[in-house]
Chain A
Amino acid sequence: MLRTILIILAVCVTAPHTSAAQDLQSLLQSHQRLVAKPSAKTVGVVLDDLASSGLSGTADFLEKWRNKDLWVRKEDGRFFYTAMAEAQLTLLDIDTGQVVGTTSKKHLKQIRPNGGVRKAIASALVQFQLNDPDITRRKAAVDAIARAMTADQLAPLEAAIDNEADADLKAQKMRLAVMLRASFAPTTEARLAAITALSDDISVDTRAVLNQILTTKRHAAVSIPSDLNVATQLMVGKDISSLDAYAMLVDANLAQPRVKASDIVSVLSANIENGRVAGTPVRLLDTIEAREKAYDSLAAAGAAPTRITDAAAQRLIETHVFFDSYSESDIRVTAAAKLALDGIETRVAISHAADLTLDALSLASIYFLAAIGLAVTFGVMGVINMAHGEFIMMGAYTGYVVQLFVPNYTLSIIVALPLAFAVTFAAGVALERLVIRWLYHRPLETLLATFGISIALQQLAKNIFGTQARPLTSPAWLDGAWVINDVIAISYIRIAIFVLAIIFLSLIVWILRKTRLGLEMRAVTQNPGMAASMGINPDRINMLTFGLGSGIAGIAGVAIGLYAKVTSEMGADYIVQSFMTVVVGGVGNVWGTLAGATMIGFLQKGIEWFNPSNTLAAQTYMILFIILFIQFRPKGIVALRGRAAGD
């Protein structure tokens, strides 16, 4: 930032003046009195002259002038910028910025323009900034206008469009000008045209402009006045509660404030005499009715303001109207803005739906990646592997360790993917050889034994890597997001995961359909005994299948680790969802897993859409839905038929 300012200063100082006949000081000296004692009426002359002079230091000067940083030397009336140096002031030449001397404060006078002048200077300044030769300054000026739009910015902005050299900035200026015209153009026709032009734009700031035009204020009145641009009449009990309605009446001085329960209590406690309030013993005042009765008798005696009864309040509410009115008085403008906004909202909703679909697809691909390995082992071998989540974690930690050694993120990911596969493949084969093959006829016990492995692995990871989350950094080209418009955006990592999921889907389908291993796998799935008698070694197939499933889990781990943090518990977060995916999809079928992942992904995003603040509720309802779904399709979406289905 400082550097930019310095460069700008340097440019200001060294640039040869286009109209070298004059410098800033002499121009200002020709209006000496008007600059030194500016008033809102006369400052226009100076500003016009400055604008037409084309001097490069003008913007800088206007800024200093507005910010009370301009000083005048009493003896000769020359203007200087200053810098503090102990008790003295250092004088800087306003044209060159060079030090011309130091002097004490009493020889100088600070120029303090009043509010009206500062406003005039500011709007002139906008014009200068918008035409500044430096593009960063122009951009800053445009951004400043976009942040706080006012009517007087419109003319300078429109004037600055034609000379804009940068095409992007020109478009931005034109867009901003349309927004300003929608709010501030002098004629209704111009505003209507601008609003119509805005209706094609779904960006947040456009919506803000239209909403600004449609700002409403709430009123309570005896009848609807004809001079207000009424937006809606409010129904008490439907649009506003009668409590709020009464509060509005009080605010509008149309009704007396009601006595609150706490006021009753304080009045009663202030009027206790000999343990009684208005003749009622204090200990009996433990119901609202008794309290109100005692209060009413106090009020009748003049000791407290009279209580307004519910019926009276209701009558008051019924005899008044409540309505919202636009701050904008022109009904044609509000109508057009409302129409435009409605159109935009519809398009925003469509975009939201598209965005949600993308989100759901990406979630589905994550579930698919997490579950496909499980589907292979569960489907082919009928073995449930509770340690599957820990294989995912193992893959993610493999990626993390690789990044410790390979600093290039792109290269490290390329190395990590096959390495994660290799590590988890080996772990899977070891698990199958050591544990699972002894338990093929006891599926429930496989579940428990692999659970034992799972807690051991989880704790082991905790012991090795600690409990804090480890980063798995994605390469720079995966940072950022693909932004289609203000609503639809999807991060590149999610796209990459989607692509990875598709690659694995094709790969597995290819292995199962086109390779010898796949053929043997399918044979073992359908009938292990028959497969064995055809010369297939089921032991070997089981081992390879388990290794393959685990290896895919490892790769899924790298992918998941890229967008979520790597912790020892990350596997546990996915294991139940993975089981759901497999079970919902139908066991023993890749397409089933795909269908299951898609359904669960879309379901979860869909439920989140109904209740966006609460992802926990979304998960709860999704699981309940799945439990119900299993009731009606116990074999999943894609159920195996015939002999292959087994019992």
Chain B
Amino acid sequence: MMKPGFLSQNQSVLWFLATLGMFTLGVTALAEATGTGALSTSFVKTLGKTLCLCLIAIAMDVVWGYCGILSLGHFAFFGIGGYAIGMWLMYARTESIVSESLSAAVIPPTDQEIVEAIGTQIFGVVGSSDFPVIWAFADSLGLQLLMVILVPGLMALVFGWLAFRSRVTGVYLSILTQAMTLALSLYLFQNDSGLRGNNGLSGLQNIPGFDATPQSMISIAFFWASALALGLGYLLFAFVTSGKMGSVVRGIRDDEARVRFLGYHVESYKLFIFTLTAIIAGIAGALYYPQAGIINPAEIAPIASIYLAVWVAIGGRGRLYGAVIGAAFVSLLSSWFTGGGAPDISLGVYTIHWTDWWLVLLGLSFVAVTLFAPKGIGGLFDLLIRKEGSR
């Protein structure tokens, strides 16, 4: 499917893949399970999660930076992916625990008794024991993996079709997507939503069938999977945004009406990009939450999707590596500051605790980036390239 010249025309893709590969090997060499142990398991997990955030960030970059749709709802798809995989993880793990405890009984349990016991175990916290309809496929990993792709894809397809068809654009569309993710998170907050209300799904770091495998090993496996997904996602998006398709998409961003007058079916392009990025966001979520261990509706509150836009804007829109840099830089910096890693600054009368002031700094620097450096951190690369070119 790829034209032979694709990679040679997009040298940044090669650079990125090479960097990602080096990084993955480096982390592997320093991890507890596979290397020297310089990096703790929890830090490897943080890095793995960051890679997943980078993956959704490049999806956001494609939909916003390339296609001009400022979606403030992509974290909803991320969350759905996480819920879809979380349902299987939780079901399968509870099943193994329940079967073990029931096998001690004198009379062997019936299938129905096992299912009921699993239901009580999972839904006891919300005062129920029946499996809701949406858990119908929870016992099958294959089907749930399909859900990771299908549910965000279909949701984006329906939502996008409705929105683009009636020519909702600009800030209206942004608000509408924000409303979508708000509605979803409010819905999931209910106890009778079938996904355990505000308890969310937990214990996702325990992978069924790998009880004996230590978390240090599992973390490396997920780190590799996340790196692979990011690499493949990068390739896919680089391909989508290059060539004629990419030109049309960028044309839509710059002047939608003109592209439409040129005879292109703008809505189809937008719908394709919107749905594709939603699917990738779902996959990123499915890789993220087993590393995080828990997912609850607060994860998909509107604020999360706005942060996503912040990352992409700080990293630099319209260039995929910019999104990666922004997501990695801001999310790691964020956890460093809020985790108490940054030293407090004493001003004599007042001590600046970064746990309190980090968000103020982030907010203001975000304004500064928007005002003074609309190209973000990625813009620095332009300066480098221009210097080399002029030399």
Residues of A in contact with B (beta carbons under 8 Å apart): 265, 268-269, 272, 282-283, 285-288, 291, 384, 435, 438-439, 442-445, 447-449, 451-460, 462-463, 572, 576, 579-580, 583, 614, 616-617, 619-620, 623-624, 626-628, 630-632, 634, 647
B374 within 8 A of A: yes
Would you list which residues of chain B between 314 and 361 have a CB under 8 Å from chain A? 356-360
Question: Known pairs A435-B367, A579-B179. 7 more at Cβ < 8 A?
Answer: A288-B110, A291-B107, A447-B70, A448-B309, A456-B362, A462-B356, A616-B189
The complex places the Cα of A431 from the Cα of B75 at a distance, in Å, of: 29
User: What chain A residues lie within 8 Å of B183 (beta carbons)?
Assistant: 619-620, 623-624, 627
Residue-by-residue, is B263-278 near A (CB-CB < 8 Å gives 1, otherwise 0)?
A: 0000000000000000
Knowing A459-B357, A579-B175, the reply to whether A617 touches B187 (Cβ < 8 A) is: yes
User: What chain A residues lie within 8 Å of B303 (beta carbons)?
Assistant: 572
User: What chain A residues lie within 8 Å of B178 (beta carbons)?
Assistant: 576, 579
Least distance between B356 CB and chain A CB atoms (Å): 5
User: What chain A residues lie within 8 Å of B364 (beta carbons)?
Assistant: 452, 456
The complex places the Cα of A442 from the Cα of B163 at a distance, in Å, of: 21
Contact status B110-A287, CB under 8 Å:
yes
B166 within 8 A of A: yes
Contact status A456-B359, CB under 8 Å:
yes
User: What chain B residues lie within 8 Å of A634 (beta carbons)?
Assistant: 166-168, 172
B190 within 8 A of A: yes
Least distance between A287 CB and chain B CB atoms (Å): 6
Knowing A576-B179, A616-B186, the reply to whether A630 touches B370 (Cβ < 8 A) is: no
User: What chain B residues lie within 8 Å of A457 (beta carbons)?
Assistant: 363
Contact status B367-A452, CB under 8 Å:
yes
Contact status A448-B189, CB under 8 Å:
no
User: What chain B residues lie within 8 Å of A456 (beta carbons)?
Assistant: 359-360, 362-364, 367
Contact status A623-B179, CB under 8 Å:
yes
B313 within 8 A of A: yes
Contact status A286-B111, CB under 8 Å:
yes
User: What chain A residues lie within 8 Å of B168 (beta carbons)?
Assistant: 630-631, 634
Contact status B366-A627, CB under 8 Å:
no
Contact of A616 among B159, B190, B357 (CB under 8 A): B190
Contact status A447-B174, CB under 8 Å:
yes
User: What chain A residues lie within 8 Å of B190 (beta carbons)?
Assistant: 614, 616-617, 620
Least distance between B117 CB and chain A CB atoms (Å): 13
Least distance between B313 CB and chain A CB atoms (Å): 6
The complex places the Cα of A626 from the Cα of B163 at a distance, in Å, of: 12
Would you list which residues of chain B between 141 and 197 have a CB under 8 Å from chain A? 159, 162-163, 165-168, 170-172, 174-176, 178-180, 182-183, 186-187, 189-190, 192
User: What chain A residues lie within 8 Å of B165 (beta carbons)?
Assistant: 631
Contact status B109-A449, CB under 8 Å:
no
The complex places the Cα of A448 from the Cα of B363 at a distance, in Å, of: 10
User: What chain B residues lie within 8 Å of A384 (beta carbons)?
Assistant: 171, 174-175
User: What chain B residues lie within 8 Å of A282 (beta carbons)?
Assistant: 106-108
Would you list which residues of chain B between 107 and 153 have a CB under 8 Å from chain A? 107-112
User: What chain B residues lie within 8 Å of A443 (beta carbons)?
Assistant: 170-171
Knowing A265-B107, A435-B371, A623-B186, the reply to whether A463 touches B366 (Cβ < 8 A) is: no
Knowing A435-B371, A445-B370, A634-B166, the reply to whether A463 touches B356 (Cβ < 8 A) is: yes
B302 within 8 A of A: yes
Q: Which 3 A-B pairs have the closest CB atoms?
A: A456-B363, A452-B366, A459-B359
Is chain B's interface secondary structure helix, strand, loop, or mixed overall?
A: helix
Contact status B107-A451, CB under 8 Å:
no
Least distance between A558 CB and chain B CB atoms (Å): 24
Q: Which of A288, A449, A614 has the most chain B CB atoms closer than 10 A to its own CB?
A: A449
The complex places the Cα of A582 from the Cα of B224 at a distance, in Å, of: 46
User: What chain A residues lie within 8 Å of B371 (beta carbons)?
Assistant: 435, 438-439, 449
Would you list which residues of chain B between 183 and 236 have a CB under 8 Å from chain A? 183, 186-187, 189-190, 192
- Ordered by A's residue number, 5 sampled pairs between the chains whose C-beta atoms are within 8 Å are A452-B363, A452-B370, A456-B367, A623-B179, A631-B166
Closest to A431 in B: B367
Least distance between A107 CB and chain B CB atoms (Å): 63
Closest to A576 in B: B182
B306 within 8 A of A: yes
User: What chain B residues lie within 8 Å of A453 (beta carbons)?
Assistant: 363, 367
The complex places the Cα of A269 from the Cα of B105 at a distance, in Å, of: 9
Closest to A457 in B: B363
Q: Which of B302, B309, B356, B366 has the most chain A CB atoms closer than 10 A to its own CB?
A: B366
A-B contacts, CB under 8 A, total: 151
The complex places the Cα of A444 from the Cα of B367 at a distance, in Å, of: 13
B52 within 8 A of A: no
The complex places the Cα of A452 from the Cα of B182 at a distance, in Å, of: 19
The complex places the Cα of A444 from the Cα of B65 at a distance, in Å, of: 11
User: What chain A residues lie within 8 Å of B302 (beta carbons)?
Assistant: 576
B310 within 8 A of A: yes
Closest to B198 in A: A616
The complex places the Cα of A126 from the Cα of B172 at a distance, in Å, of: 70
Least distance between A597 CB and chain B CB atoms (Å): 16
Q: Which of A286, A457, A647 has the most chain B CB atoms closer than 10 A to its own CB?
A: A286
User: What chain B residues lie within 8 Å of A454 (beta carbons)?
Assistant: 363
The complex places the Cα of A283 from the Cα of B303 at a distance, in Å, of: 54
User: What chain B residues lie within 8 Å of A449 (beta carbons)?
Assistant: 366-367, 370-371
Contact status A283-B108, CB under 8 Å:
yes
The complex places the Cα of A447 from the Cα of B167 at a distance, in Å, of: 20
User: What chain A residues lie within 8 Å of B111 (beta carbons)?
Assistant: 286-287
User: What chain A residues lie within 8 Å of B370 (beta carbons)?
Assistant: 439, 445, 448-449, 452
Contact status A269-B366, CB under 8 Å:
no
Least distance between A608 CB and chain B CB atoms (Å): 13
Closest to B313 in A: A448
User: What chain A residues lie within 8 Å of B170 (beta carbons)?
Assistant: 443-444
Least distance between B358 CB and chain A CB atoms (Å): 8
Least distance between A391 CB and chain B CB atoms (Å): 15
Contact status B179-A626, CB under 8 Å:
yes
Closest to B368 in A: A452
User: What chain B residues lie within 8 Å of A619 (beta carbons)?
Assistant: 183, 186
Least distance between B370 CB and chain A CB atoms (Å): 4
Closest to A623 in B: B183
Least distance between A63 CB and chain B CB atoms (Å): 47
User: What chain B residues lie within 8 Å of A572 (beta carbons)?
Assistant: 303
Least distance between A241 CB and chain B CB atoms (Å): 16
Contact of A268 among B107, B159, B182 (CB under 8 A): B107
Residue-by-residue, is B358-391 near A (CB-CB < 8 Å gives 1, otherwise 0)?
A: 1110111111001100100000000000000000
Least distance between B170 CB and chain A CB atoms (Å): 6
Contact status B359-A455, CB under 8 Å:
yes
The complex places the Cα of A287 from the Cα of B180 at a distance, in Å, of: 45
Least distance between A49 CB and chain B CB atoms (Å): 62
Contact of B362 among A445, A455, A583 (CB under 8 A): A455
Closest to A632 in B: B166
The complex places the Cα of A631 from the Cα of B160 at a distance, in Å, of: 11
Closest to B257 in A: A647
Closest to A463 in B: B356
User: What chain B residues lie within 8 Å of A269 (beta carbons)?
Assistant: 106-107
Contact status B112-A448, CB under 8 Å:
no
The complex places the Cα of A626 from the Cα of B177 at a distance, in Å, of: 12
The complex places the Cα of A272 from the Cα of B162 at a distance, in Å, of: 64
Least distance between A16 CB and chain B CB atoms (Å): 66
